[in-house]
Amino acid sequence: MNTTHSLPSTPPSSLFLRACLGLEVERTPVWLMRQAGRYLPEYREVRKLAGDFLALCKTPELAARVTLQPIERFALDAAILFSDILVIPEAMGMTLTFLEGEGPHFPTPLNRPAELERLVLPDPEVQLGYVLRAVRTIRQQLPAPIPLIGFSGSPWTLATYMIEGGSSKKFTRIKTALYDDPHFLDALLERLAVAVTDYLNAQIDHGVAAVQLFDTWGGVLGPDEYRHFSLEPMARIIAGLKRLRPDGTRIPVILFSKGCGGYLETIAASGCDVIGLDWTTPLDQARSRLGPAIALQGNLDPAVLYAQPGRIRTEVGRVLGTMGGQNGHIFNLGHGIEPNVNPERVAVLVQTVHEESRRIKLNVVA
């Protein structure tokens, strides 16, 4: 368990939540980033019904439906709310569009300090109320043993999209701001940290059982820049979250910084319960560096899902074997499922995690 935090008065029954807290589990729990998405034919049907991606996110009944689809199809141990990280910048007043084949686009990106004044601090119950209605709807329909994970993008990742205007390969605009006008970037990150804290707390109030911070672009920063511009705002968010419900139930926090395996010790000091790892950091090395005080999540290369079932089983077994049956591990991909993956390959992955992790556990006990 994470020794910086007290255990809940009543330990959870969910395998996923128990693993987040480092508690004993009979097998390794599994969920997958982007488990609700374009690789599922049933998702594509709902997407057509919605008309466009943003409309799907903003229609609570449809967002709930696609959240539940992978739970109905696979024996997963957690659901993750279907939404998008960029709903926060839109709620702050930025125009957001999704271009077919190109992804998210902000037609008027931020480029000067004065433009911060046009950003409002959103009230999650108002500007993001459609997300909270989706959370309530999902909780009503989700089988009781399955926890719901809420999420947000990290301030650094959100700021990257807001300043670049969309996805980027070189990050020229935001890195120019970082080096030429760090006060502007700090002010933006502070506003985003407050907005994300409020947003995640609202998700917790409406019923999510855990939250994850997606720091997709943390890995483009050097060590000092990562600490200052990415990790410190996330640490402020974690410190401001409602981690305990009145009944003593603990809300675990997962921090996933892609490409940041070199910064694990720094990440562990953020206050999170779980560190998500991409596939470039071996789990056993992470455990050796961090000890048992923090849980690990990951970290199969998503491309393995293109392989034949036998190779998928081998690679899943290899990842599980690096943990040796230790507690405090949630199986996941090192990033999201790609859209053209065959769903049957995902079924093989989930079944193998169940069977192989149980076998490893039994061998450890024996």
Find tokens 């968010």 and name the residue.
237
The whole-angstrom separation of Cα 365 and Cα 72 is 32
For residue 5, is it within any domain? no
For residue 89, is it within any domain? yes
For residue 9, is it within any domain? no
Q: What is the CATH number of the domain that holds 44?
A: 3.20.20.210
Catalytic residue (choose from 39, 43, 161, 226): 161
Token pair in block for residue 224: 């000092």
For residue 8, is it within any domain? no
97 strand-pairing partners: 105
Question: Tens of pLDDT along 309-360?
Answer: 999 999 999 999 999 999 999 999 999 999 999 999 999 999 999 999 999 9
47 has catalytic annotation: yes
84 has catalytic annotation: yes
273 has catalytic annotation: no
Question: Tens of pLDDT along 34-85?
Answer: 999 999 999 999 999 999 999 999 999 999 999 999 999 999 999 999 999 9
Catalytic residue (choose from 18, 27, 43, 47): 47
For residue 10, is it within any domain? no
pLDDT at 187 over 50: yes
pTM of the complete model: 0.95
In contact, 139 and 207? CB cutoff 8 Å: yes
Phi/psi zone of residue 14: left (φ > 0), alpha (ψ -120 to 50 degrees), beta?
A: beta
Catalytic residue (choose from 77, 84, 215, 273): 84
Catalytic residue (choose from 27, 34, 313, 345): 34
What's the pLDDT score for residue 8?
54
Count of structural domains, the chain: 1
Domain range for 117 is: 15-365
253-257 sheet: strands from edge to edge: 79-80, 148-153, 210-215, 253-257, 274-276, 295-300, 329-333
pLDDT at 195 over 60: yes
For residue 49, is it within any domain? yes
136 has catalytic annotation: no
pLDDT at 11 over 70: yes
213 strand-pairing partners: 152, 255
Catalytic residue (choose from 38, 73, 227, 359): 38
What's the pLDDT score for residue 114?
83
Percent over 90 (pLDDT), the chain: 88
191 has catalytic annotation: no
CB count within 10 Å of CB 84 equals: 19
